[in-house]
Structures are given as C-alpha cells and as structure tokens.
Structure 1
Amino acid sequence: MREGNLEAPTRHPIDWKNPAFYDEAAAMQEMERVFDICHGCRRCVSLCQSFPTLFDLVDATDDGEVHGVKKEAYWSVVDQCYLCDLCYMTKCPYTPPHAWNLDFPHLMLRAKAIKHQKGEVGAKEQLLASTDTHGRFAGIPIVVDVVNKVNGTKAARSAMQSMLGVHPDAWMPGFAEQRFRWGRAMSGEASVVVNGQRTPGQVAIFATCYVNYNEPGIGEDLLKVLEHNAIPYVIVDKEQCCGMPKLELGDLPAVEKAWAANIPVLARYAKEGYAILSAVPSCTLMFKQELPLMFPDDADTQAVKAAMMDPFEYLVARHKDGLLKTDFQAALGKVSYHIPCHGRVQNIGRKTEELFKLIGQTVPLQLTTVERCSGHAGTYGVKQPTHKLAMKIGKPVFKSMAKDEPDVISSDCPMAGHHIAQGMREAGTPAKALQHPLSLVRIAYGLE
C-alpha cells in the first residue's frame, strides 16, 4: 500500500530535449531533494544497491543528514541504478500526483544522460551495450561455432574482461547458428481470423536482439503457440535494438536513433490493427513506457504504445475472449517461475502466472512464483564492477526458486533466467532444466 499517495502513480514526460535537462548543478540540487526524502523513508533499501549506497553515505556524515554528503559521491548512487523501475512502481509513496513529485529512476536517467554527454561513459560500456554490433556474428556457422567454443575458455573470458569489462565469472549468451528473422520465421503460416474478437486477431512479432541473435528458439516457440491457436502473424519487416541498453547508459541520442528506425515500421502494423508482441520484457517496456515518455507528442509512438503487448498479456486476453485453445497434453511437473522487474512494472498483472494456472487445470503442474529482482538487470549483471553485487541482489531469488526442488525454472526475461540458473548452481541447488515460459506453453500443448 502506498502511504501518503492513494492515487495510481503517473509519469511525467522526459524533458530530455531541453538544455536545462543537462544542467548538472540543477540535477545535483534535485538529487539532494530526492535523496533527503529517500533517506527519511528507506522503504526501498532491499530493492537494489542504489539505496544502500545512498544510506551508507548519509549515515557516514557527522549529523546523519543528506546535506553532509559530498555531491561527487552522488555518482556512486547513480552508477548502481539499472532503471528496473521497481522503486517507482511498487514502493515509493511520493510519486506523482503526490506533491513531492518523486521519480527516482528518471532522475537517475537524467544523471546518466549528463554523465554520457560529458564523455564519462567508457568505451567498454558503450560497446557492451551495442547489441546489434555483437549480433553480426550470429548466423555465420563457422564463426558462431568458434566464438561459442572460445567464449568458454579462460583466455577468451580474460579478453572479454579487457575489451568489454565483462566479469570472467558472469554468464554470457552464445550466438545462434540461425537468426530468428531468417528463413521460416518470416513466413507466417497461420491464416485463420476469428470475427468479432475484442483482442486483435493478428500479430506482428518484434523479434528483439536477444531472440534474434542468441535464443531464436524462444521466438519459434511463440510462433508455434500462435499457429496452434490459428492466430495469423508476421515478423516485422525490419528492426534494430529497441534502445534499452543505451538508455541504461544515458545515451539518449542513440536511443533516438533506434526510435527513428523502429517506430515508422511498427506504427504501420499498429495502424493496421496488429497486436505487436515482444518476448523480452525490457523491449516491451521500452515501447510501452520509455519511448512514449521521451516522445510524448509523436502520434506514431503513441500508436505503437497502444499496440505493444507482452505475449502472455495477449494470450490471456485471447482466453478471456474465448479464443485460446486449452487442449494441453503434457505435464510440466514442478515449475519455479520468476516475474522479472520489467514485466512487473508494465501494469498488466501476473499474466504468465495466469496462463500457467490455466495449464494446471488440465495437466499436472506445481507452480511456485517468485516476484523479486534477480539482480541481472541488463548489462549490470555481467560487468566487472557489478557482477558480484548482482549475484548478491539475486540471492533471495535463487533461494526461493530452489525451495521446492523444481524440475524446471523459468523467467519471462531469458537473461534473468540464466542468471538465476547460475546462482542456483553456485549454491548447489540447480533445477533439472531452464525453459522460457513460452517454451513451457509449447511443451504443454504437446507441440514439437
């Protein structure tokens, strides 16, 4: 419950085109105001490392107040924020329309943007966040085979640490031999449209960098579920990274370039009545929240926002309209399911859990749901300075996921899933398998 603010939180547009947005002195003054409120509240202390860092700085002052913290120390708080948005959406009682008007994540974004504009974001961080650049290796058989094998060696991980700032112990995704957007994935075989449905009867798939380059099987499983339900689909004509990795760095000009490439394409599908699905929650959130707040007056951006849906948001809506098949055949056993942060803050409810429970009405399924940050948080979980902190943040999740000795662990965020699997292995409590929720639905339907 939000003490002091009983209305739903609202978001102000991000005024990033205004030169005042980059006024460092003004940003520092606003941080002091917000940090003072956070220090007096402290209910977000368990969410991430930003708040313990802040509170330790305050507690180390002579009088235990924010005004005693040196402004240059504020950057240590900023650097620990990975824009999960949980403080804003689930904890803070002082978000707008409260008079204190507190938006911690977007204040951290402003600080990150100032840091980037000053040229203080390192080349390693910028390269690590360039997902389309890395993805060029995907789909080239000999190169993929060599890169995937070499990446598992100590020498290669040492080189990655040197070139990209990646911690040698952090899990890193391999490259796919065939990209999702190549070949069969472009065909869209399903062709039946149900008249009079309240949910869109046709789907456009935004592949995402991760599904396209790293785990195309997730996308293929989504297509199989759509085909089984006779839902026609297309893969969007062209796409590039949604911009979330660059947003986390404060590189707003790079985000704008991604926006300029993606929105005109996606807006066409939105205007033609497609639901646009993205299988990675961070990408979905980018189009649902961050880009609409960065470009609030752009009609195409708002149209894409209205059409963009989480896959399980869409499937549950189809079920409520009586249009989803429930002919599940295969038992899933004991499943520990993790709700990722960027899924929680979409304000859609626990849709994946809802569908799992629907499956459990037909076939054996023992479900445990864990709703807490895994600690992975994009590049935060793999960087040299923050990987161990990410594992520390995720420790309660690792324990909760292992509690019932699951057969399978699962998370809508595939990277969080691997991060959790690593944490469970290191704790000596691994599950038998890691599967994306879409893959589990495909298995439950009995589809090959």
Structure 2
Amino acid sequence: MSTHHPTPDACIACTTCVVNCPVARATPNYLGPRLIGPAYERFRLLGLAEETSLHYCSNCKNCDISCPHDVPVSTFNMMARAEYCRAHKPALRDWVLGHGELLAKLLRPLPAGLKNFGMLNPLTRRILDKFGISADAPMPAFAPARFRDQLARTYQGMQPRKVALFPGCFIDIYDPQTGFDLVWALNRAGYEVIIPREFSCCGLPMIANGFENDARANAARNLRAMRRMQEQGIPVLSSCPSCVLMLNRDVPEFFPDLVQKTCTPRVLDAQAFLLDCVERGELRLIPENDCAERVVYHAPCHLRAQGGGLPGYELLQQLPGIHVENADAGCCGISGSYGFKKEKYAIGMEVGAPLFDKVRRSGAGLSSSECGTCRLQLEHGAHKPSVHPVTLLRRVLEKTT
C-alpha cells in the first residue's frame, strides 16, 4: 500500500474495542483487536514476525465504531494482512472469495442454471468444503444476467435528472431485482439511473483476503469514473454500505496517492438519497395504505461504521403500513467472505446467534437489511426471508397506486 501509514500511538489500551469485538467473544483463538491491531503494530514497525491470529479478524469494523479515540484499528489489521500476503501467497480459496466479480466474468458464457447447479449441488459443495469453503455456508445463486447489462436494455422514461449507481457485486451478479427496485424508486423521483462502464468491485473482498494490488487497480478504475461523474455534476449512489465505506473511507486511507491524482470519492447512501427525495417532494410516500406488515431491521456493521445514522431504517419507519423494529443485536457474523470459510463458519454463526434469535422472536414475517451478504446470513440463521429496504419501499408504493 502507499507510504501513508496511520500511527498506533493514539491507542491508550482501554480495551473498549475488545469488549465490542464479536469475534473475540466467539472464539479464544483471536487475541482481539487491540493486541492484533495497534499493540502489535509497534512490533511490525520493528520488522518482527506477524502474530498468527491476525487472520481471525473479520474486518467487521466494530473496533473502529467503538474506539473512543478514533484509532483505525481495522486499518492496521488490513494493512498487516496485505503485508503478510506479500510474503506468503494467499490460498486459492481466498483468491476465489476475494474475486467474485472476476469469477462471474469467467463463468459468463455458461447459462445461470448450469452455473448454479455446478456451484450448489451437494457433490460440488463437498468438494468446495475440502477446498476450504464451508459446505454449510449459504451460497448466493447467479442471476441469469448481470444487473448492469439488464439495466442498459431497460427504458426508464424521460427523466429530468441523472444519478450514477455503484451497484456492488452482490446486486450486479446475484440480486438484480433489488437493483431494479432501487431504479424504480429513483425513476419515480425523477432520476434516470446510469452505471459507468468502469465501475468495478469496490475492492473490499480483495483487501479482506490480502489482495492489495488487485484492490488498488480497481480503486484506480473507480476513481476515474467518479471524477468523470463529478465533472458532469452527476451524484454517485450505492445501496450497499460496504461499498460506500470502502470507497469513501478505505480507498483514501489505503491509496491516498490515487485519490490525490484523481479525485476524492464521494458516494452517497442510496437510502439517504431517497429520504432527501421525500423531503424535497420528489418522492411521495402515500399515507393511505391498508397493508400492515411487521419487519425487523438489521443495521449492517459497515453502515454503523460510517456514523451517518440508519437511513434504511428511517425509510422503513416512514412507509405507511410497515411496522419496523430495529433488531439492534450486533453483527450477523458473515462479514463479507469471512463466514463462507470452513474454519470461520462456526465462528460466524456464533457471532450472529443473538441476531438470529432476535429475528425469530420478533414476530415479524421477514427481516430487512441493506447488505446482500447480511440478508443471505439472516435467511440462513433465522430461517425467514430477508429483503432490502428499497424492495419494501417499492412493494408498499405499488400497492398504493
């Protein structure tokens, strides 16, 4: 990564991050964010060997959320992981989990049904388990076509304004319907949605699995596209909190030289943007509605780490006929690709157990969360459907018109 490097000296060893670390609570194998992050960083700066429990960090950012002195604990961990992976080649399993977008491109010639049979049948799952991807972990199914390709063929009407959408890999590859639910809401507010061709994976899965150079290449492409959008006065939105966090905060931390040469990324939370549309009168939430649905909402860790509130939850609260409860039960445990790994699956399920229990006991028929892998984990652990807030927004507004 760049020569820019945060200092561990702001850490006062208060252990607040340890108390709030879901992984440290779930397994004794992880020494905790304070020791692995700022404390051990001092040894790294002396050139000493890496502490072996580093790989247990899930990059959920709860250490960053809880630190009273704004120490970038997770950044130390991810920088250390990149350094370790420069000296020790990551496993093929980690490459696969870190490069979902590239894998989807390689498999593109195959029909979705064949891809999904190949990836999800019991025999393949056993083989993947030997390979290091848990046979018990929930796996998303490939969509028949990528969201961006479908959107390019979709007529959106004559809209007076434009927004650029950073779709994120989950919606783009596995869940186009959620993308179209967002496009529907934005069209209704008077915005045409475009996806610049350069937009690539935000790089978070690459960073989390140790592939710094690949994340850097993607950051360069994404920043070039963002600069073009900024020059044209077109706002960039994303409905995925992890993408927003990676692009707005992590890219400038990890690759400040790229930001200096290109532009400062500014990606807006799509749910916050829709709330602004409501406030400006561009999107009307019709109060008359005879539906009554109970929903339990889960705030993704990467959304809470941004410190900008819970716009998706606020949006649900404003929907007529929706009775929403904030689960407020911590991390779901999947942490992007972390919970798919064979040696981490049980840890992820242990981390998510309080949330699953809260969802099951809530009396709600379904849960809602902005993060695609959170929704996958919620359905797996709580055995109830989980949808994005914009899906509920569309469902309610279509019933009222």
TM surpasses 0.5: yes
User: Contact 1:313–1:348 at 8 Å: present in 2 too?
Assistant: no
CA-to-partner distance for each residue in 1:206-260, whole Å, 9 max, x for gaps? Answer: 2222111111111111111111222222222332211110111232211111112
SS at match of 2:362: coil
Give the aligned partner of residue 24 of structure 1.
none
User: Contact 1:375–1:392 at 8 Å: present in 2 too?
Assistant: yes
TM-score when normalising by structure 2:
0.86
1:332-371 equivalence runs, <5 A: 333-359=293-319, 363-371=320-328
Q: Which runs of 5+ in 1 are unaligned?
A: 1-15, 22-26, 59-64, 96-101, 194-200, 426-430
Give the aligned partner of residue 435 of structure 1.
387
CA RMSD of aligned residues (A): 2.9
SS at match of 2:187: helix
Question: What count of residue pairs does the alignment treat as equivalent?
Answer: 385
1:285-304 equivalence runs, <5 A: 285-296=245-256, 298-299=259-260, 302-303=263-264
Does residue 280 of structure 2 align to residue 321 of structure 1? yes
Instruction: Specify the code of the residue in structure 1 equivalent to 2:382.
Output: M
Give the aligned partner of residue 309 of structure 1.
268
User: Contact 2:353–2:381 at 8 Å: present in 1 too?
Assistant: yes
SS at match of 1:159: helix
1:345 Cα deviation from its structure 2 partner: 1.5
Structure 2 CA distance for aligned equivalents of residues 143 and 231 of structure 1: 32
Give the aligned partner of residue 21 of structure 2.
47
Give the aligned partner of residue 112 of structure 1.
81
Does residue 45 of structure 2 align to residue 86 of structure 1? no
Higher relative contact order (CA 8 A, sep 6+): 2
Segment of structure 1 superposing worse, 393-402 or 313-322: 313-322
Structure 2 CA distance for aligned equivalents of residues 57 and 218 of structure 1: 38
Give the aligned partner of residue 145 of structure 1.
113
Structure 1 CA distance for aligned equivalents of residues 292 and 373 of structure 2: 21
1:44 Cα deviation from its structure 2 partner: 3.3
Cα distance, 1:72–1:239 mapped onto 2, change above 3 Å = same
Give the aligned partner of residue 361 of structure 2.
403
CA-to-partner distance for each residue in 1:17-72, whole Å, 9 max, x for gaps? Answer: 23x96xxxxx9xx88x899x54x5355334322477679869xxxxxx99xx9x86
Give the aligned partner of residue 130 of structure 1.
99
Cα distance, 1:301–1:385 mapped onto 2, change above 3 Å = farther
Instruction: Specify the code of the residue in structure 1 equivalent to 2:272.
Output: E
User: Contact 1:175–1:213 at 8 Å: present in 2 too?
Assistant: yes
Cα distance, 1:190–1:271 mapped onto 2, change above 3 Å = farther
Give the aligned partner of residue 5 of structure 1.
none
Segment of structure 1 superposing worse, 272-281 or 216-225: 272-281
Give the aligned partner of residue 134 of structure 2.
167
SS at match of 1:314: helix
SS at match of 1:259: helix
Structure 2 CA distance for aligned equivalents of residues 111 and 352 of structure 1: 33
Does residue 195 of structure 2 align to residue 228 of structure 1? no
Cα distance, 1:310–1:379 mapped onto 2, change above 3 Å = same
Structure 1 CA distance for aligned equivalents of residues 169 and 224 of structure 2: 18
SS at match of 1:422: helix
Does residue 143 of structure 2 align to residue 176 of structure 1? yes
User: Contact 2:184–2:394 at 8 Å: present in 1 too?
Assistant: yes
Match of 1:238 among 186, 198, 209: 198
Cα distance, 1:395–1:149 mapped onto 2, change above 3 Å = same
CA-to-partner distance for each residue in 1:186-206, whole Å, 9 max, x for gaps? Answer: 55624343xxxxxxx531112
1:159 Cα deviation from its structure 2 partner: 1.7
Q: Which runs of 5+ in 2 are unaligned?
A: 33-38
CA-to-partner distance for each residue in 1:47-99, whole Å, 9 max, x for gaps? Answer: 322477679869xxxxxx99xx9x868321x212122222112x11232xxxx
Cα distance, 1:358–1:52 mapped onto 2, change above 3 Å = closer
Segment of structure 1 superposing worse, 179-188 or 127-136: 179-188
Instruction: Specify the code of the residue in structure 2 equivalent to 1:143.
Output: P
TM-score when normalising by structure 1:
0.78
1:295 Cα deviation from its structure 2 partner: 3.3
Cα distance, 1:55–1:115 mapped onto 2, change above 3 Å = closer
1:26-45 equivalence runs, <5 A: 37-38=12-13, 40-42=14-16, 44-45=18-19
Does residue 389 of structure 2 align to residue 413 of structure 1? no
Structure 1 CA distance for aligned equivalents of residues 199 and 300 of structure 2: 24
- The structure with the largest alpha-carbon Rg is 1
Instruction: Specify the code of the residue in structure 1 equivalent to 2:208.
Output: E
SS at match of 1:277: strand
Cα distance, 1:295–1:337 mapped onto 2, change above 3 Å = same
Structure 2 CA distance for aligned equivalents of residues 185 and 374 of structure 1: 34
Cα distance, 1:137–1:440 mapped onto 2, change above 3 Å = farther
1:413 Cα deviation from its structure 2 partner: 0.5
Cα distance, 1:225–1:124 mapped onto 2, change above 3 Å = same
Give the aligned partner of residue 256 of structure 1.
216
